[in-house]
Structure 1
């Protein structure tokens, strides 16, 4: 099954300034912003949502809040990946019980895994739940890379239905799309490659840029899904600068700064993340006029 097509936002998590608690009032407003501006799925408690600094209780509560507020209007995909398989199983089951439509499961990081361990990790999690799983391959963060053969083998599990591809390796992406069934969804995990991956047959994106420009990312995806890649390329060119500059410092520092400047959250992070440097702020402030106009619209 395909969990969603189109633009999924890897949504930021607002925190209350000084106390660093989750700011649910701001988060609800942010969810409504995405419902009103074309976002096709919410990916909550992922890397962009700073899940690595949350307790399990906070993470599950945030997932449940998202599910309850979205109320079935668009899919909610919950981040539940961690480098301890037993812990990932527990989080995945709690996310399922909280009502998540699907799970985003990260490839093991730091301790990594050999071939057999990687396969057993994903299968053990997939066997433990009754909702679909999207694998998340991001070697720049995990320090290990899945092979095409491993993706193909895991795609045969009935609960493993997709891949968030943040490899930046188009040959890898092309091979995965060629060798997996049509109902196995590949989602772009790099905004600078959204157009290229959807041109190859990707079914959508899991986007950082969609936090601040949801209409544009949705339109790019929808044009591709409608077979109009030429017009999608025009939007992709318009987004080239912000796709790049949202990574002027490590994600999610820049995007949360812009969400803050749009008025949706305080400029608050949990350490070791901290607000952008003055130089980075100057770069990001160059987009404020465009974002303010889109926000009014």
Structure 2
């Protein structure tokens, strides 16, 4: 089965567990097993929720290696390889390929964004960056639009142009711009995956034709997101019946959990959720992040209980 076919569904951006300040590879293996048991389509180590920017190059490679070793052969591993220089992105990609990844995920460069005033000019710089990476990357490339972290959005026109590159196979959209997202769904080639990155937008995204989602909180409750995907994409969900009712109920429960995690940040909140679920023993994060306070953890636990009731 083609990579893009296997990734139609829900892919968690895996947290990176820590113990005594170091990456806890045993806990990471347990997390992979939990996600796979929940029915996820793929696994995404070294994403934003995985605190990749707080890991060394060696740690990033080791996280991919552990994830790939624990993943079944039919569950693809998408390794985050974000960096600010093309050469560094490609070095991460080479290490990810050696570690067993199936694809790489690339953000726009951060700190130095593309110059130029009009969107078309900015898009030219981004297109050049991504095309240079895609030309030389040893694995298929996913684009990752997350302007809250990079300071730069990927214009829809630029993403659609890059979709024509034979080694660019999809995009994770964490922009929150649903109009732009819908344009990508409408106009992208059929074999180019368009994945929603906002947990609370998975249901409407699927209803307009998205291929799936990459959601932080699917680390903790993968079965809820997988059930939401199944209910929202089932043919009977287009009418007011049990399938549609299930999708809406799950959408509302996921939205409540998403809202409970906003203030604390998604790496700390997702780790708190995983501890609440008994998947992880330690919710430690690396500076500048900090763990949730008691009120934050209680809010997450309450929202998790609501999901259990659906």
Does structure 2 retain, via aligned residues, the 8 Å contact 1:174–1:200?
A: yes
Pairing partner for 1:283 from 295, 299, 303:
299
Whether the 8 Å contact between 1:14 and 1:265 is mirrored in structure 2 is no
- CA gap 1:238/1:284 in 2 versus in 1, 3 angstroms: closer
CA–CA distance in structure 2, aligned partners of residues 224 and 160 of structure 1: 27
Change (3 A) 1:120 1:218: same
Residues 73 and 179 of structure 1: is their aligned pair in 2 closer, same or farther, counting only changes over 3 Å?
closer
Q: Contact 2:42 / 2:78 at 8 angstroms: preserved in 1?
A: yes
Cα pair 2:206 2:229 within 8 Å, conserved:
yes
Look up the SS of the partner of 1:273 in the other structure: coil
Describe how 1:1-297 pairs up with structure 2 within 5 A: 2=4, 4-16=7-19, 19-113=20-114, 114-227=122-235, 228-229=237-238, 230=244, 231-263=246-278, 264-287=280-303, 289=305
Q: Whole-Å Cα distance in 2 between the matches of residues 100 and 288 of structure 1?
A: 31
Deviation at 1:288, TM superposition (A): 5.4
Comparing 122-131 and 60-69, the one that deviates more? 122-131
Q: Which has the higher contact order (CA 8 A, sep 6+)?
A: 1
After superposition, the C-alpha distances for 1:174-230 in whole angstroms (9 at most, x for unaligned) are 111222111111101001110111111110000112111111100111233333352
Give the TM-score normalised by structure 2: 0.88
How many positions carry a matched residue from both structures? Answer: 291
Measured in 1, the distance between the counterparts of 2:222 and 2:290 equals: 25
Q: Gaps spanning 5+ residues in structure 1: where?
A: none
- Asked whether the equivalents of residues 14 and 27 of structure 1 are also in contact (C-alpha less than 8 Å), the reply is yes
Relative distance call for 1:93 and 1:255 in structure 2 (3 A) is: same
Structure 1 runs (4+) deviating above 4 angstroms are: 288-291
Contact 1:96/1:129 (CA < 8 Å) preserved in 2? Answer: no
Over the aligned positions, Cα root-mean-square deviation in angstroms equals 1.8
Measured after TM superposition, the shift of residue 289 of structure 1 is 4.3
How far, CA to CA, are the matches of 1:288 and 1:225 in structure 2?
Answer: 23
Question: 1:95 and 1:29 mapped to 2: Cα distance?
Answer: 20
Displacement of 1:282 in angstroms is: 3.1
- Name the counterpart of 2:117: none
Q: Tell me, which stretches of 5 or more residues in structure 2 are unaligned? A: 115-121, 239-243
CA contact (8 A) 2:93 2:138 kept: no
Deviation by residue 1:90-111 (Cα, 9 ceiling, x = unmatched):
1012111211111111122221
| Residues 175 and 221 of structure 1, relative CA distance in 2, 3 Å threshold | same
Deviations 1:254-295 (A, max 9, x none): 11112122221312111111111333233223235467x69x
Moved more, 74-83 or 277-286: 277-286
CA distance in structure 2 between the aligned counterparts of 1:29 and 1:184, rounded to whole angstroms: 31
Q: Deviations along 1:86-132, whole A, 9 cap, x unmatched?
A: 11111012111211111111122221123332111111111112421
Specify the SS of the correspondent of 1:134: strand
CA distance in 1, matches of 2:249, 2:297: 27
Question: Aligned equivalents of 2:273 and 2:138: distance in 1?
Answer: 37
